[in-house]
Structure 1
Amino acid sequence: MFPVRSFRTHAIMEGARKGDRAVYKLVIVDDNRLEREGLGNVLDWRSLKVDIVGTFANGKQALERFDGLRPDVLLTDIQMPVMNGLQLAEAIREKWPETRIIFMSSYDEFDYARSALRLQVEDYLLKPIRKEALADTVRKTLAALESWLQSKREREGMMRQIKSALSLYREQFWRDLLYGNRQSAEDIHDRLVMLELEPWPALCQVVIVSLAWDETDRSQANVTDKYYYMYMIQKAAKEQPEVGLAVHTAQISDRDIAVIYCAADRGDGSRSMVDAVVRFKERIESLSPYSCAVGVSETSDRLEKLPQLYKQAKLAAETRYFGETPGGRLVLYEEIGRTAAADFETAVDLQELYRDVKSIVADQMPADVLYDKYLEPTRAYSEKYVRTLLLAVMQSIELVYAEAGKKFRDTSAANGFGTAERWSSIADVARTVGAMLESAAAQLQVDNKSQYELMVDEIKAIIAKQYREPITVQTIADQVYMSPSRVNNIFKMITGRTIFDYLTEYRMEKAKELLKDPFSRVYLVAQEVGYANKSHFCLVFRKFTGLSPSAYKDNLFPKQQED
Structure 2
Amino acid sequence: MRKAVIFDDEFIVLKGLERMIDWSEYDVELVGTAADGEEALDIFRKHRPEIVFTDIRMPGKNGLQVIEEIIKDAPETQCIVFSGFNEFDYVKKALKLGVVDYLEKPITISMIKEALEKTISRITHHETVNSLKDYNQKEKLEKETLQLLLEKGNETQWRELFGQDAQELEGVTVLSLSSFVEPPEINEGHRIITIQNGAENLLVIFHLVKDSGDVWDHLMNWSERVRVAVGSGRTYTNLLEVNKSYHEALHALRYTQFMNELEWYRFEDIGENPRHSTDLSKHEQAVIFHIRTGNKEELFEQLKALIEQFDRKRLHPDVIEREVLKLVYLGLEVVKETGCDPNQVWPDYMPHQDIRKLQTKEEMFSWLYNQLEKIIHASINIRSTYKHEAIERACTFIKENYTRDVTLQEVSEHVGMNATYLSLLFKEEMGESYIKYLTQLRMEKAKQLLAQGRKVAEVSELVGYHSYRHFSELFKKHIGIKPGQFKEMK
Q: TM-score, normalised by structure 1?
A: 0.29
More relative contact order, 1 or 2 (CA 8 Å, 6+ apart): 2
Q: Which has the larger radius of gyration?
A: 1
Q: TM-score, normalised by structure 2?
A: 0.33
